[in-house]
């Protein structure tokens, strides 16, 4: 008889959906959203609704592999787990002995949002080895740094409270593609009379449905926020209880005319937006991580997050802002990850992987262990990353479900379980529900969970500390042993019964909290690679935005033909296409000094003149020239948080012959 199991989507998305899995004969047959979950509400995004295609894909890895050919050729032979683990342990030990333990670098990110398979036994293993530590900056650190500067916490308005808003600004967030479970709450708010404004350089799906869409120049969000502050102060809308004198003085430098020149938004629109936002209550801002993927992105987030403090909406249910809710999930990370197991070690920025693999010395990186990530596709400065991965003296291990572009360079590839096949505990960065999931289906072949793989490696390296014998349930209990009031009363037993539990976070989580208004000055300088920046070059006059695709999720679904087709497109305005003799549907080459890619032109008004867009992140192995858009992206870092500047990139485009 078919049975139904609870699970949780582990993918890198703010929604962290609660799932119901119908299992028949040991195989999942139906995957659907849990109607009892207050955020999931019984539906899934189009990506995860088809996740079983990925679960049972014929190319799924099910046995350990050892490299036979040259790096990058993706030629492997199957080996046993014992053979793979013995050789991996020996090579890691050799790297540590010959070059020091810091010559070993773990590389992981958001392939799973689960605590156990994402940041438990793996962290213990590398801490015990004394390996280099990874600064996981590739997605969210700039925005997080902005919030911490302003409020000292990473909290935000709960999605279910958006229904109470009467003015909603969606700023740098394509909700219908990357946060779809917020949309029903926005729809209900609009039914009650709310106005929806979208601020985005691209005419996204949600922008096309908004009451008003404003399209600033890429990376100019800080200037826009300062322009709005200028109007709020000048017209007497400031309701902040704190001393705003220094911020008022800074905003005085950005009257609407100045902000208009820096952002491309007419001065009268800046004035209108400020007035409407300040006088309509409650008003809420939904930021997503698009804003902070700019050279000025960290301070842009800080400035935008201060707007509701100035207008008083921070104290109202349905007001405030949301970038992330992740700071409320204050689990006991020290107990889970055990940083005390080893000595302090150097920290390497994952956004600089190409540099770390090719230019780092004392010691050089001699061993790379990649899991929950695919840097050959997702990391910036892709040419340099590939050069590093191709080094003949670099020992590389990859844990994954597929033979990715990164795995093609590996010495060993280890088959990992999916979220339907292992136990894990999940946070969310778009709501406040903590969730537990047990295995719904058996793992195929010889696949193993990440935590188990690192347990086995620890045993082979002779790590005798009892923590390496902790079971999954031991890890769960240690993580939940937190002093945070947000987690009070949440136990493993409750999670087993209820599957998801809301954290003890109040409505208006920043109510009564006074932000830091006197921090580092919020002065705006255009990003170096922008139409107004110091690096502008007439040879590369177009600003490239490589924002998230609709049908893909980072590189997770790149194997699907329709996802690859979506990412093979360059959106270009007619006024930029015509002088370049580019017709809709024609092949084009997008290039700058870092590299070039071939795409298909989509001519239209989804972008403004001077801006082009290529969705990320295509599998390079499926693309012409085996490159995706990240070959064009620099490894320049953000103002704070040391994140990558994916959305500040200057390029040129030319028509090319069909291949």
Q: Convert the pLDDT of each residue in 156-168 to its tens digit.
A: 999 999 999 999 9
Nearest Cα neighbor of 377 from 107, 141, 602, 659 is 107
Q: CB under 8 Å to 246, separation ≥6 — which residues?
A: 517, 518
Per-residue pLDDT reduced to its tens digit, 192-247: 999 999 999 999 999 999 999 999 999 999 999 999 999 999 999 999 989 999 99
CB distance 638 to 573 below 8 Å: no
Per-residue pLDDT reduced to its tens digit, 469-513: 999 999 999 999 999 999 999 999 999 999 999 999 998 899 888
Cα(392)–Cα(103) distance, rounded to whole angstroms?
A: 15
Distance of CA 139 to the CA centre of its chain: 4
pLDDT value for 643 = 98
pLDDT value for 659 = 66
Cα(577)–Cα(609) distance, rounded to whole angstroms?
A: 9
Cα(155)–Cα(153) distance, rounded to whole angstroms?
A: 6
- When pLDDT is cut at 50, 70 and 90, the band that residue 314 belongs to is very high
pLDDT at 135 over 70: yes
Mean pLDDT for the stretch of residues 309-333: 97
CB distance 293 to 178 below 8 Å: no
Look up residue 218 and give its two tokens: 């890429």
| Residue with token string 């003149």 | 609
Nearest Cα neighbor of 399 from 445, 450, 442 is 450
CA distances from 608 to 82, 141, 214, 582 (A): 56, 28, 11, 16
What is the percent of the chain where pLDDT is above 90? 95
Helices and strands, counts by H and E, the chain? 22, 25
What is the percent of the chain where pLDDT is above 70? 100
Mean pLDDT for the stretch of residues 539-561: 91
474 versus 553: which is more confidently predicted?
474
Q: What are phi and psi of 585, to 5 degrees?
A: 85, 0
| HSE-up (13 A, CA, CB side) for residue 456 | 15
User: Which CATH class name applies to 65-139+331-419+445-467?
Assistant: alpha beta
Cα(498)–Cα(504) distance, rounded to whole angstroms?
A: 16
For 314-334, b where at least 16 C-beta lie within 10 A, e where not — what string? bbbbbbbbbbbbbbbbbbbbe
Nearest Cα neighbor of 186 from 146, 215, 157, 214 is 157
Look up residue 145 and give its two tokens: 């740094």
CATH entry 3.40.228.10 includes domain 142-323: yes
CB distance 384 to 595 below 8 Å: no
Cα(535)–Cα(650) distance, rounded to whole angstroms?
A: 9
The mean pLDDT value of the chain amounts to 97
Per-residue pLDDT reduced to its tens digit, 637-650: 999 999 999 999 99
Domain ranges of the chain: 65-139+331-419+445-467, 142-323, 542-655
Nearest Cα neighbor of 254 from 533, 527, 519, 524 is 524
pLDDT value for 104 = 98
| Residue with token string 């093609």 | 408
Strand order, beta sheet including 433-437 = 424-426, 433-437, 500-502
pLDDT at 658 over 90: no
Quote the strand ranges of 456-564, DSSP E.
500-502, 542-545
CATH entry 2.40.40.20 includes domain 542-655: yes
Q: What is the 3-state secondary structure (H, E, C) of 196-263?
A: EEEECCECCHHHHHCCEEECCCCCCHHHHHHHHHHHHHHCCCCCCCCCCHHHHHHHCCCCHHHHHHHH
Cα(396)–Cα(106) distance, rounded to whole angstroms?
A: 10
CB distance 159 to 39 below 8 Å: yes
For residue 272, count CB atoms less than 10 angstroms from its CB and return exposed for 0-12, middle for 13-18, buried for 19 or more.
Answer: middle
Look up residue 65 and give its two tokens: 């592999």
pLDDT value for 551 = 86
Beta bridge partners of 371: 108, 399
Beta bridge partners of 540: 537
Strand order, beta sheet including 320-322 = 212-214, 195-199, 167-171, 283-287, 320-322
pLDDT at 556 over 90: no
CB distance 166 to 281 below 8 Å: yes
Look up residue 541 and give its two tokens: 């006059």
Strands 18-24 and 133-135: unpaired
DSSP per residue, 238-256: ---SS--HHHHHHHTT--H
Q: CB under 8 Å to 50, separation ≥6 — which residues?
A: none
CB distance 332 to 477 below 8 Å: no
Cα(639)–Cα(221) distance, rounded to whole angstroms?
A: 13
């Amino acid at each position: 008889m078919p049975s139904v199991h609870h699970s949780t989507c582990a993918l890198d998305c703010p929604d962290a959906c609660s799932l119901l899995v119908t299992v028949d004969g040991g195989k999942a047959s139906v995957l659907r959203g849990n109607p009892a979950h207050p955020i999931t509400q019984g539906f899934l995004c189009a990506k995860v609704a088809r996740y079983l295609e990925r679960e049972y894909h014929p190319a799924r890895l099910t046995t350990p592999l050892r490299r036979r050919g040259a790096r990058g050729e993706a030629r492997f032979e199957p080996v046993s787990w014992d053979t793979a683990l013995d050789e991996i342990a020996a090579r890691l030990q050799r790297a540590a002995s010959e070059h020091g333990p810091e010559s070993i670098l773990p590389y992981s990110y958001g392939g799973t949002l689960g605590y156990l398979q994402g940041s438990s036994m793996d962290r213990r293993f590398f801490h015990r080895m004394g390996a280099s530590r990874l600064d996981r900056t590739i997605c969210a650190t700039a925005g997080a740094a902005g919030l911490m500067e302003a409020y000292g916490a990473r909290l935000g308005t709960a999605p279910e409270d958006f229904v109470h808003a009467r003015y909603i600004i969606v700023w740098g967030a394509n909700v219908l593609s990357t946060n779809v479970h917020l949309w029903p709450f926005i729809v209900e708010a609009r039914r009650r009379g709310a106005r929806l404004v979208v601020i985005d350089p691209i005419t996204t799906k949600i922008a096309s449905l908004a009451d008003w869409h404003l399209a600033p120049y890429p990376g100019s969000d800080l200037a826009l926020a300062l322009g709005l502050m200028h109007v709020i102060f000048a017209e007497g809308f400031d309701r902040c209880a704190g001393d705003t004198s220094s911020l008022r003085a800074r905003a005085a430098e950005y009257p609407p005319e100045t902000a208009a020149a820096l952002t491309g938004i007419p001065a009268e629109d800046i004035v209108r937006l400020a007035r409407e936002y300040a006088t309509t209550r409650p008003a809420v801002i939904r930021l997503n991580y698009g804003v902070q993927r700019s050279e000025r992105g960290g301070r842009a987030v800080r400035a935008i997050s201060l707007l509701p403090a100035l207008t008083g909406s921070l104290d109202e249910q349905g007001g405030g802002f949301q970038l992330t809710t992740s700071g409320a999930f204050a689990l006991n990370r020290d107990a889970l990850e055990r940083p005390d197991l080893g000595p302090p070690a150097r920290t390497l920025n994952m956004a600089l992987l190409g540099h770390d693999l090719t230019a780092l010395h004392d010691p050089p990186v001699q061993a790379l262990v990649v899991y929950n990530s695919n840097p050959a596709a997702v990391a910036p400065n892709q040419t340099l990353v590939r050069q590093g991965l191709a080094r003949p003296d670099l020992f590389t291990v990859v844990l994954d479900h597929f033979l990715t572009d990164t795995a093609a360079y590996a010495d060993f590839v280890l088959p990992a379980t999916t979220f339907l096949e292992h136990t894990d505990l999940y946070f969310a960065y778009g709501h406040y529900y903590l969730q537990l999931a047990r295995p719904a289906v058996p793992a195929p072949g010889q696949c193993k969970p990440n935590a188990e793989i690192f347990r086995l490696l620890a045993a082979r390296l002779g790590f005798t500390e009892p923590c390496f014998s902790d079971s999954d349930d031991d890890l769960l209990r240690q993580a939940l042993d937190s002093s945070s009031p947000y987690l009070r009363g949440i136990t493993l037993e409750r999670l087993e019964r209820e599957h998801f539990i809301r954290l003890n976070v109040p409505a208006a989580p920043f109510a009564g909290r006074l932000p830091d208004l006197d921090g580092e000055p919020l002065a705006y300088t255009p990003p170096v690679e922008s139409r107004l920046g110091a690096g502008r070059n007439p040879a590369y006059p177009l600003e490239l935005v490589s924002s998230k695709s609709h049908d893909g999720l980072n590189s997770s679904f790149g194997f699907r033909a329709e996802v690859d087709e979506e990412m093979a497109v360059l959106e270009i305005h007619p006024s930029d296409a015509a002088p370049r003799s580019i017709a809709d549907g024609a092949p084009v080459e997008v290039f700058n000094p870092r590299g070039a890619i071939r795409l298909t032109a989509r001519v239209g008004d989804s972008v403004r003149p001077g801006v082009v867009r290529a969705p990320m992140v295509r599998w390079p192995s499926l693309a012409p020239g085996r490159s995706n858009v990240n070959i064009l992206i620099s490894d320049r870092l953000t103002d704070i948080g040391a994140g990558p500047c994916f959305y500040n990139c200057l390029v040129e485009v030319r028509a090319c012959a069909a291949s």
